[in-house]
Amino acid sequence: MKLPRRKFLHLVAGAAALPRLVGQALSTRLGQQFIVENRPGAGTNIATEAVVRAPPDGYTLLWVTAVNAINATLYDKLNFNFIRDIEPVTAVVRLPNIMVVHPSVPAKSVPEFMAYAKAHPGRINMAYSTSGGTDHLAGELFKIMSGVDMVGVPYRGGGAALFTDLIAGQVQVSFPAMAGSIGYIRGDKLRPLAVTTASRWEGLPEVPSVSEFLPGYDASSWHGVGLPKTTPAEIFDKLNHGINAALADPTTKARLAELGGIAFGGSAADFTKFIADETEKWAKVIRAANIKPE
């Protein structure tokens, strides 16, 4: 079945490079052009609703992220139900966040940090970007699992202001995306304590994962592809096979690694279960920490 040009609707501008890479790989394999259309706003819900309302003809795809699983609980009222209205195709990539501290913090490991934080309850400031963002929830999950008390300091939109204050020592710890922090780490302006993925990241193999000290901890950022429900099975299967074939290609894997990512892939059933598990996990954290959207 031949399909005309398709478009990915993705959630945030920072994800553009990833769907563009996948779109290029699929264009090559399927002989069809894919374009990336940014629909930011409303905590990423605008893009999701646009795909939910799109005709189920395979022309419009959603670049699914961890934010979708988070928003299912973070927002009390949405005009859609993500799990009910979007059909997961496959996971694409997993990206680590990283726990970093200002060099003045006298802790060079996660156990040392936990001991220091417990000796100074409420005196460590934890910087994060948007309320309910992956960096925020990574920190809240760490607090819950480690039993430490840290004061959350939001920086709406994150970016320069967060790193400026973190580097200056105005805040002491953060759990930012690897892509935004790797330069400061390599420049010795921030000390990495651990990555937030369940296993170590090959880009910084000497840095442990949080899970090595807190078993079961995993606060990965992740991305995948979804379609409107009732999309014909032949379109769905064609995309699943095309994406998985692209992810198995060494060139695609290498380009994902350059963006700090780890190729994911798998069946639609695997991705569906993964999304359900992530939604449940983050629901518990959001409720425990009483997190509200900004």
Question: What whole-number distance in Å separates Cα of residue 171 and Cα of residue 108?
Answer: 17
Is the CB of residue 251 less than 8 Å from the CB of residue 82? no
CA dihedral 87, 21, 190, 125 (to 10 degrees): -30
Question: What whole-number distance in Å separates Cα of residue 192 and Cα of residue 274?
Answer: 28
Where do the domains of the chain lie? Answer: 6-95+220-289, 98-212
Counting every residue written for the chain, the total comes to 294
Q: Name the more confident of 23 and 138.
A: 138
The two tokens of residue 195 are 């990555």
Question: What whole-number distance in Å separates Cα of residue 237 and Cα of residue 240?
Answer: 5
Tell the burial category of 172 from Cβ atoms under 10 Å away from its Cβ (0-12, 13-18, 19+).
buried
| Amino acid at the residue 99 | M
Asked whether the predicted pLDDT for residue 31 surpasses 80, the reply is no
Reported as a pLDDT band with limits 50, 70 and 90, residue 33 is low
CA dihedral 36, 218, 190, 254 (to 10 degrees): -50
| Domain 98-212, CATH | 3.40.190.10
CATH 3.10.20.90 fits 6-95+220-289, yes or no: no
Window from 42-51, 132-141, 177-186 with minimum mean pLDDT: 42-51
State pTM to two decimals. Answer: 0.87
Q: What is the pLDDT of residues 230-281, one digit of tens each?
A: 899 998 898 899 889 988 888 888 888 877 788 888 999 999 999 999 999 9
Question: What whole-number distance in Å separates Cα of residue 62 and Cα of residue 60?
Answer: 7
Nearest Cα neighbor of 63 from 32, 33, 92, 96 is 92
Q: Name the more confident of 97 and 48.
A: 97
pLDDT reported for residue 55: 85
Identical topology for domains 6-95+220-289 and 98-212: yes
Burial per residue of 215-241, b for 16 or more beta-carbon CB atoms within 10 angstroms, e otherwise: eebbbbbbbbbbbbeebeeebbebbbe
Tell the burial category of 212 from Cβ atoms under 10 Å away from its Cβ (0-12, 13-18, 19+).
middle
CA dihedral 11, 12, 16, 18 (to 10 degrees): -70
Reported as a pLDDT band with limits 50, 70 and 90, residue 213 is very high
Which helix H or strand E contains 61, and what residues bound it? strand 60-65
Cα dihedral sign for 210, 211, 215, 216? positive
pLDDT reported for residue 258: 77
Asked whether the predicted pLDDT for residue 8 surpasses 60, the reply is no
